[in-house]
């Protein structure tokens, strides 16, 4: 089993995985070019577009499954932009290009990872998982040091009579810090499945990073990260681990929670305060105030969920339904959404057609990665990459309700790359019988001897 990565596309992905979490730390640093604010993130997005676009153009072979649906989603963006030009007098083209690049870059990374997987015929994705773990670990260690020495930011949150401080480190939001920590834990768990025997220092490093990441989740006080980790634990124990491994995984999770709580001085009150809105909804309390003007759209008491995020969904839906038929159908790209949700953002920008294609695309990827992860008779390494791809798309679908993973490129790129690798392994497995048949030696045809000749030899 070789873990070497020789092709330029695979090596480029490894470099990207290593440096992108570190580049994200410089989100606030920018230079002025005329009236434009240019940051390292903008430069990275442009470089990825041109470089990975070049890699895709020079590659040959068939497109991956559902690649066409992804392309249709991109085309709908272009159509929505064209429609939006008729309904706005001051279009912000910079924001349009920025968002369009984010979507295009995800598509390019998905395609390039798929092509790299087909060409490299990777039996294991050990190096790629290590690259993600190292990149996120460096970023988390830098954030930890920044927080310890007082360079990291944060914010005070008030929940009734309870107030607490949420750390965000060098990122612009505590939720981003928690999301990077969550992905670090997820990739460590799957990397463990591909670690060669021995490697005590590697195992010690990964174990330490699990606790560092848990600490980052704790001090960020992120509800979304807690939910994602809980769903990940269920998938990992139920889908990835087998037999006695399930018990060991459950024991490790329990020990990690107990030890982390003791180490961090876990305070139940601040997390309970963070979940105040959810607790009130579950207890049947009504959400105060109207959802939108004249209550045209209302989700009732459920509007209190997510600190009134569901109320914002009602407001966004109300605004969409007041538009013209064309805008409702295909969207108006230059309109902003107050929803803080990918689904309602897509509905606002791309209309109900765009939302349908987006949800369809995610569900198709989710279904296919699940079917591959459940497939019997595959190698352990194939099981790892299929299960990882399914885990990431499942968490993405959940996370897109209260947040915007479509726009947060680092974790989106990780997901699309792993899905590309997963689809490549499935394609290679399907072609394996044909390859073996073509490579099998051809036996010479036995010379036909007349029956009379055979009798004469006896």
Does residue 445 register a pLDDT over 70?
no
35 DSSP assignment: T
- Residue 157: strand pairing partners: 164
pLDDT digits (tens, 9 = 90+) for 149-180: 988 888 777 666 567 788 899 998 888 999 99
pLDDT digits (tens, 9 = 90+) for 75-104: 999 988 888 787 776 777 778 888 899 999
Does residue 457 register a pLDDT over 80?
no
Average pLDDT (405-425) is 94
The CA-atom distances, in angstroms, between 434 and each of 8, 178, 253, 431, 439 are: 27, 46, 43, 5, 9
Average pLDDT (49-57) is 95
In the chain, where the domains are located: 14-121+329-428, 126-267, 275-322
Q: State residue 455's pLDDT score.
A: 38
Of 115, 143, 125, 10, nearest to 59 (Cα)? Answer: 115
Residues 62 and 119: their CA atoms lie apart, in Å, by 12
Average pLDDT (349-363) is 95
Can you tell me whether residue 267 is helix, strand or coil? coil
Angle between helices 8-23 and 126-148 (to 10 degrees): 10
Of 317, 337, 335, 323, nearest to 403 (Cα)? Answer: 337
Q: State residue 456's pLDDT score.
A: 41
154 φ, ψ to 5°? 180, -175
Average pLDDT (119-140) is 94
Residues 376 and 179: their CA atoms lie apart, in Å, by 32
Q: State residue 187's pLDDT score.
A: 97
Does residue 24 register a pLDDT over 90?
yes
pLDDT digits (tens, 9 = 90+) for 321-351: 888 888 899 888 887 777 889 999 999 999 9
Q: State residue 379's pLDDT score.
A: 87
Does residue 448 register a pLDDT over 60?
no
């Amino acid at each position: 089993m070789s873990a070497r990565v020789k092709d330029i596309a695979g090596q480029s992905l490894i470099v990207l995985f290593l440096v992108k979490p570190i580049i994200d730390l410089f989100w606030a640093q920018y230079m002025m070019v005329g009236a434009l604010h240019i940051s390292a993130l903008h430069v990275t997005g442009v470089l990825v577009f041109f470089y990975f676009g070049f890699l895709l153009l020079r590659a040959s072979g068939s497109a991956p499954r559902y690649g066409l649906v992804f392309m249709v989603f991109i085309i709908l963006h272009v159509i929505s932009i064209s429609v939006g030009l008729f309904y706005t007098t001051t279009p912000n083209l910079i924001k349009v290009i920025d968002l369009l690049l984010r979507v295009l870059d995800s598509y390019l990374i998905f395609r390039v990872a798929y092509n790299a997987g087909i060409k490299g015929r990777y039996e294991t994705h050990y190096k790629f998982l290590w690259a993600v773990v190292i990149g996120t670990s460096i970023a988390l260690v830098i954030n930890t040091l920044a927080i310890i020495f007082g360079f990291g930011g944060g914010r005070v949150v008030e929940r009734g009579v309870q107030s607490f401080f949420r750390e965000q480190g060098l990122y612009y939001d505590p939720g981003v810090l928690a999301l990077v920590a969550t992905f670090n834990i997820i990739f460590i768990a799957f990397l463990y499945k591909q670690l060669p025997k021995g490697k005590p220092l590697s195992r010690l490093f990964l174990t330490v990073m699990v606790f560092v990441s848990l600490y980052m989740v704790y001090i960020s006080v992120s509800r979304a990260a807690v939910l994602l980790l809980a769903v990940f634990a269920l998938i990992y124990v139920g889908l990835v681990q087998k037999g006695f491994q399930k018990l060991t995984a459950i024991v490790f999770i329990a020990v990690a929670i107990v030890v982390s709580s003791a180490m961090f001085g876990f305070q139940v009150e601040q997390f309970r305060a963070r979940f105040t809105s959810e607790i009130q909804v579950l207890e049947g309390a009504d959400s105060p105030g109207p959802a939108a003007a004249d209550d045209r759209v209302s989700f009732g008491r459920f509007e209190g969920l997510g600190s009134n995020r569901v109320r914002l969904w009602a407001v966004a839906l109300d605004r969409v339904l007041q538009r013209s038929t064309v805008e409702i159908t295909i969207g108006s790209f230059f309109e902003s959404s107050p929803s803080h949700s990918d689904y309602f953002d897509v509905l606002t920008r791309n209309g109900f057609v765009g939302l349908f294609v987006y949800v369809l695309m995610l569900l198709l990827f989710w279904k296919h990665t699940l079917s591959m992860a459940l497939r019997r008779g595959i190698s352990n390494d194939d099981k790892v990459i299929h299960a990882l791809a399914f885990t990431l798309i499942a968490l993405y679908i959940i996370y897109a309700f209260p947040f915007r993973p479509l726009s947060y490129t680092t974790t989106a790129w990780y997901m699309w790359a792993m899905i590309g690798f997963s689809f490549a392994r499935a394609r290679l497995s399907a072609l394996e019988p044909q390859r073996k048949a073509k490579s099998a030696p051809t036996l010479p045809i036995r010379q036909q001897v007349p029956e009379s000749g055979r009798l004469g030899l006896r």
